[in-house]
Every structure is written in C-alpha cells, then in structure tokens.
Amino acid sequence: MLYFSCDYAEGCHPKVLEAINKTNMVSTPGYGQDDFCESAKEKIRKYINCPDADIYFLVGGTQTNQVVIDSMLSNYDGVVAAFTGHIAVHEAGAIEYSGHKVIALPAHEGKLDAAELKQMLEDHYADDSAEHMVNPGMVYISYPTEYGTLYSRQELEAISSICKEYEIPLFIDGARLAYGLAAQDDLTMADIAAYADVFYIGGTKVGALFGEAVVFTKGNTPKHMITQIKQHGALLAKGRLLGVQFGAMFTDNLYMEMGRHAIKQASIIRDDLKKKGYQLYMENPTNQIFVVMDNQALKSFGEKVAYGIWEKYDDSHTVIRIATSWATSDEAVSELKKIL
C-alpha cells in the first residue's frame, strides 16, 4: 500500500530521531526549562531574524491554536477566520470550548480577503449594537491554508496592515509552514515573523514526531504563559523532547530542506495528473493535491493507494487529497505515477 493520505503518517526525519536517540539518557529539568529548548529557541530566533522573539513549544496543532487564541483573547473577544479555517471546522469546537466565538468570514480558496476583513471590522465598530456582539479580538489565517493555497506577499501585507490599524493581533497558523515557504520564492520565515503578531512553526506535519513552536514576535507574550499552558493540559513534562527536535530541524537548514522535498514530489505528481487529464479541484502549489476522482475508479485506486477523502464532488465523483511530505520517497512517487 502506498501512503499518500496525509503528511503525518510516519514517525520523524532520521536526523530528528538521531537527536532523540543521542540525548535520551541526558538528565534535564522538566517542562521545557532545559538547555535543549533554550538552544533551539536561539536557533529559531536567528533564523527568523527576530532576536527578541519569545518562543514556546507545544505538542500539537489544535492544542496550539486553543492555547494561543485563548491566552491572547479577553472574555469578550472572538477570533476572525475564514469559514474553512481549521479552527472553524476540524478542531471539534476547541476554540468555543475555551469560550470564544470563531467569527467566520467567506473563504476564497481557503483565504481571507483583506477587503472583506476591513469591511467587517468597519461595520462592527459602526454598529449601534456592537457592545451586544462578540468583539473581533484576533485575526487567524493559516499559511498554507487548509486547501494548500498561499497568501501572496501583497495579501499578507494587506491583512497585516488592517490588523495594525485596528490593533488586533494577527495569528498565522503554520502547521505546514515549511511546505508553504518552499513553494513561494519571494517569502521567508522572517517575513512571516514580521507580518504576524504570533505564529507557529509546524513540526508534527514536517518531520517531527510531534511539536509546534509558537513565536510571539512583538513583545506581546500573554502574562503567566506557563500557567496558561499548564491549565490547558498542554505543558509537556519532558519538554526537552521539543527542544531536541526543533534543535535538529533548525540545524543545517533541515526544516526547509524537508519542505522543499515534499514540494518537489508534489510537483512531479501534480504534473503527471495534469498530463493524464485529471481534474484538479483547486490549483495550489504546496504539498496537498486535491483531485476530482470518479467514484468507480477510486475503488481500485484505493486498493493500492491510501488517500484522503476530502468531500463529495457530485453523485459520481469525489474530491480526494494526495499529500506528500518530507517522507515521500522517489519510489513511492514512481509507483503512484504508474497507478494513476
């Protein structure tokens, strides 16, 4: 069976595993108060050119979104997101569970539109009933989006500047950050750090066993952040595991190398699909490929390839997801091409 269903089907990159092995019997303080964490943070700060960034390592994506959003918002705040955003759909209501509304705006291939965002904020503050409504207290975007699309530099700039104007923090969910940056020539992680007030560097989907690095870029860390993380059940006892992994991923450019690998493999598959006349559900340049497949054909395809079901297209077709990752081998890509 070929695995193309998701980008978290294997363990971790061999170099990350090597670091875990090498440090296994070292004794350290718990809860991330160790040197591995400190060193990994320093590497990230340098990489994003943000020497004062305040960094916290968490375990998974939904947890990270919940902790970041809840710790930055006040009771009366909600978070603005595209209605297709991960927090609006596939996190089992983790944001509402923590007391905050996800204020959903239209999505354009998964993206918020800056003009619509601005209009919404304008309307809100002009509304006589504003005090009876949830206050827009944060803007959430994912880069890449849930549909594998990317904001252009101009789009990021526009959204970031609206957030500044309204004094609302911009939070960029980078669960697949490496896959986005590897597919976009004119944007670096330092740019993401500059546009965002807080963002996270996804490890779970990019070569770590688990782990997300939350980066506060503007001296804006919420107070008692450790207490807040603990309160959400999100403080890893052996926090050093996160430091060790991110340390390895930010050594010799491994993180971006893994990103580029997945993009290369995705491009090969995407080209092959197009050549063979498959209909892409949505054009996007990252590691997730959304293809419209005939339900009949899907049966035999599914016997050889593990894929992701995305959504019903019509009565006889389904949108499926083919995802590459840091782990996708050349052999697997060749095999897939033969099957397609």
17 binds a copy of itself (CB under 8 A): yes
Integer Cα distance of 109 and 152 in angstroms = 13
20 binds a copy of itself (CB under 8 A): yes
Residues 38-57 within binding reach of a copy of itself (CB under 8 A) = none
Query: CB under 8 A: which stretch of 43-51, 83-91, 163-171, 258-266 binds a copy of itself?
Result: 83-91
The neighbour count for residue 99, using CB atoms within 10 Å, is 12
* Shortest distance in whole angstroms from residue 325 CB to a copy of itself: 10
| Structure-token pair, residue 45 | 């700060």
Q: Which of 1, 92, 325, 56 is nearest to 216 (CA)?
A: 56
* Shortest distance in whole angstroms from residue 1 CB to a copy of itself: 8
Q: Which of 45, 23, 30 is nearest to 201 (CA)?
A: 45
Residue 322 three-state SS = strand
Amino acid at 224: H
Do residues 180 and 151 touch, judged by C-beta distance below 8 A? no
The neighbour count for residue 265, using CB atoms within 10 Å, is 23
* Shortest distance in whole angstroms from residue 266 CB to a copy of itself: 17
Integer Cα distance of 215 and 161 in angstroms = 19
Work out which of 82, 241, 254, 291 binds a copy of itself, going by CB under 8 A.
Answer: 241
* Shortest distance in whole angstroms from residue 305 CB to a copy of itself: 11
* Shortest distance in whole angstroms from residue 241 CB to a copy of itself: 6
* Shortest distance in whole angstroms from residue 274 CB to a copy of itself: 26
96 binds a copy of itself (CB under 8 A): yes
Q: Which of 152, 142, 211, 151 is nearest to 176 (CA)?
A: 142
Work out which of 139, 156, 209, 215 binds a copy of itself, going by CB under 8 A.
Answer: 209
Residues 270-309 within binding reach of a copy of itself (CB under 8 A) = 306, 309
106 binds a copy of itself (CB under 8 A): no
Q: Which of 87, 116, 115 is nearest to 102 (CA)?
A: 87
Residue with Cβ nearer a copy of itself (65 or 286): 65
Do residues 77 and 138 touch, judged by C-beta distance below 8 A? yes
Residue with Cβ nearer a copy of itself (28 or 284): 28
The neighbour count for residue 309, using CB atoms within 10 Å, is 13
Integer Cα distance of 90 and 162 in angstroms = 27
316 binds a copy of itself (CB under 8 A): no
198 binds a copy of itself (CB under 8 A): no
Q: Which of 246, 251, 173 is nearest to 211 (CA)?
A: 246
5 binds a copy of itself (CB under 8 A): yes
37 binds a copy of itself (CB under 8 A): no
Work out which of 233, 275, 330, 339 binds a copy of itself, going by CB under 8 A.
Answer: 233
* Shortest distance in whole angstroms from residue 96 CB to a copy of itself: 4
90 binds a copy of itself (CB under 8 A): yes
| Structure-token pair, residue 164 | 């500044």
Residue with Cβ nearer a copy of itself (111 or 240): 240
* Shortest distance in whole angstroms from residue 280 CB to a copy of itself: 21
